[in-house]
Amino acid sequence: MNARLHRLWGMIRKESLQILRDPSSISIAFVMPVMLLLLFGYGVSLDAKNIPLGIVIEQPDTAAQSLAGAFDRSEFFRPQRFAAIQDAKRALTERRIDGILWLRNDFSNRLLSGGEAPVGVFVNGVDSNQANITRGYIQGAWLAWLQHFATSRGQALDLPVVLEQRVWFNPALSSHLFLVPGLIAIIMTMIGSLLTAMVVAREWERGTMETLMVTPLHMGEMLVGKLIPYFMLGMGGMLLSVAMALFLFDVPLLGPFWLLILCSALFMLVSLAIGLLISIVTRNQFLAGQVALVVSFLPSFLLSGFLFDIHSMPSWVQLITYLVPARYFVAILQTLFLAGPVWPVVLTNVAAMLLMLLILTALVVKKSYKRLD
């Protein structure tokens, strides 16, 4: 037992020294998280604010002016006036504006006579997501104004349904609140899978694995000895990201901190297992890097729900997302940060990750033997 601990300690010390001497490990663990967080926290925004909107008023009477004024005051729009619809359409084609609000010369008449929708709306549908958001916002602003207009004239608005919106958990609808927690999953995938796959493959490539094998060191000790330092590194990256999320981006942490650490540790183990499996199968740094990128990093980015909503994906893509461990972790992270400990969400996702860990560990153990063939 004592000899075993000595061997384990030898491996851990060696691995830690190598991490400290290799600038690329340090930068992946600490510099990259900072850069990604700054980029996603400040640079990328999925919110619709300041949408450039063209407004065409053919008959500038009171009602039309009042409606245009409502759009002018809205923080979601940056309206521009066009004299004729043709000019506005050209601007839309040239992507100078994202939508057009067209008030025809019979606008006031039809509005007052209680006829059907008297406004024309055009939206640039090239970016369908943006188009939907724009259309929704125009509709919202129109309904709000209509209600206000009706009340001011002492009339009840004759609408079948009145929309009353409540946005939960992220009332300001700011995307960095859910992007930043999700990023923690991406960063931990980088350290756990990409970095680990490459450093273990390096041992094969440089021939040091052969020397390690012909010692009393057991395969299990070697794996654990490798895992511990990279586990610490990954958790370090995680803590750094959490600190930045809380103090730089003012993301609230509504769930308990210990639960966050526990779930992160579980996800870290899953990532490490994937990294180990890749390196054992490829035994080549370049290949390991490529494979890790394709099977681990990119799916975490695209299919985890961190950036793109899973429910709006085609159903067969949704099925694939169940294979992406980051999917479960992103769900936990967004819940813990923004909604607090919603136990059914946390527990089901933890169970999924545990299952993945079990399967991956079994594969790693099966694939790693002290032989070169």
Partner 1 sequence: MNDERVLVFRNVRQIFTRGEQTLCALDDVSFDIVPGQVSGLIGPDGAGKTTLMRLACGLLRPESGTVHVLGLDAVAEPQAVQSAVGYMPQRFGLYEDLSVQENLDLFAELQGLPQKKRTVRYAELMHMTGLSPFTARLAGQLSGGMKQKLGLACALLRAPRLLLLDEPTVGVDPVSRRELWAIVYRQVQEQGMSVLLSTAYLDEAERCNEVLLFHQGKLLGQGPPNEFSANVQGRIFQVSAAGISHRQLQARLAQSPNVIDALVEGETVRLVLEQAGLPTAESLLPGLDNVTIRPAVARFEDAFVARLKTRYDGVASAGGLNFHIDVNDDTEVIQVHKLLRRFGDFVAVNDVSFNVHRGEIFGLLGANGAGKTTTFRMLCGLLPASGGKLSVAGLDLHAARAEARRHIGYMAQKFSLYGDLSVTQNLRFFAGAYDLRDSKQDERVEWAIETFELTDYRESNARDLPLGFKQRLSFAAALMHEPEILFLDEPTSGVDPLARREFWARTNALAEAGVTVLVTTHFMEEANYCDRLVIMAEGTVLAEGTPQEMKARARTTDNSDPTMEDAFIRLIEQHEQNKKKIDNRKAMV
Q: What residues line the site for partner 1 (CB under 8 A)?
A: 3, 6-7, 9-11, 13-14, 17-18, 21-22, 206-208, 210-218, 370-373
Nearer Cβ to partner 1 (1/167): 1
Identify the CA nearest to 349 among candidates 273, 282, 260, 238: 260
Cα(111)–Cα(216) distance, rounded to whole angstroms?
A: 88
Q: Which parts of the chain are beta strand (E)? A: 51-57, 77-82, 99-103, 119-123
Sequence-distant (6+) residues with CB within 8 A of 357 are: 266, 269, 270, 273
Q: How far is the CB of 370 from partner 1 (least distance, A)?
A: 6
Q: How far is the CB of 24 from partner 1 (least distance, A)?
A: 12
Structure token pair of residue 139: 């509709």
Nearer Cβ to partner 1 (18/66): 18
Residues pairing with 53 in the sheet: 79, 99
Q: How far is the CB of 352 from partner 1 (least distance, A)?
A: 36
Q: Are 82 and 101 in contact (CB under 8 A)?
A: no
Distance of CA 92 to the CA centre of its chain: 30
Q: How far is the CB of 78 from partner 1 (least distance, A)?
A: 55
Nearer Cβ to partner 1 (158/373): 373
Cα(331)–Cα(342) distance, rounded to whole angstroms?
A: 11
Nearer Cβ to partner 1 (25/74): 25
Distance of CA 317 to the CA centre of its chain: 17
Cα torsion 138, 250, 191, 8: sign: negative
Q: How far is the CB of 207 from partner 1 (least distance, A)?
A: 4
Nearer Cβ to partner 1 (105/208): 208
Q: What are phi and psi of 148, to 5 degrees?
A: -60, -45
Nearer Cβ to partner 1 (22/61): 22
Q: How far is the CB of 233 from partner 1 (least distance, A)?
A: 16
Nearer Cβ to partner 1 (5/84): 5
Nearer Cβ to partner 1 (172/372): 372
Structure token pair of residue 347: 């527990």
Q: What are phi and psi of 80, to 5 degrees?
A: -125, 145
Q: How many residues appear in the chain?
A: 373
Structure token pair of residue 75: 């923080």
Cα(91)–Cα(358) distance, rounded to whole angstroms?
A: 57
Phi/psi region, residue 55 (left: phi>0; alpha: psi -120 to 50; beta: rest), is: beta
Phi/psi region, residue 50 (left: phi>0; alpha: psi -120 to 50; beta: rest), is: left
Q: How far is the CB of 20 from partner 1 (least distance, A)?
A: 10
Nearer Cβ to partner 1 (95/367): 367
Residue 288 identity: A
Q: How far is the CB of 15 from partner 1 (least distance, A)?
A: 10
DSSP 43: I
Q: How far is the CB of 205 from partner 1 (least distance, A)?
A: 10
Q: How far is the CB of 279 from partner 1 (least distance, A)?
A: 17
Nearer Cβ to partner 1 (126/372): 372
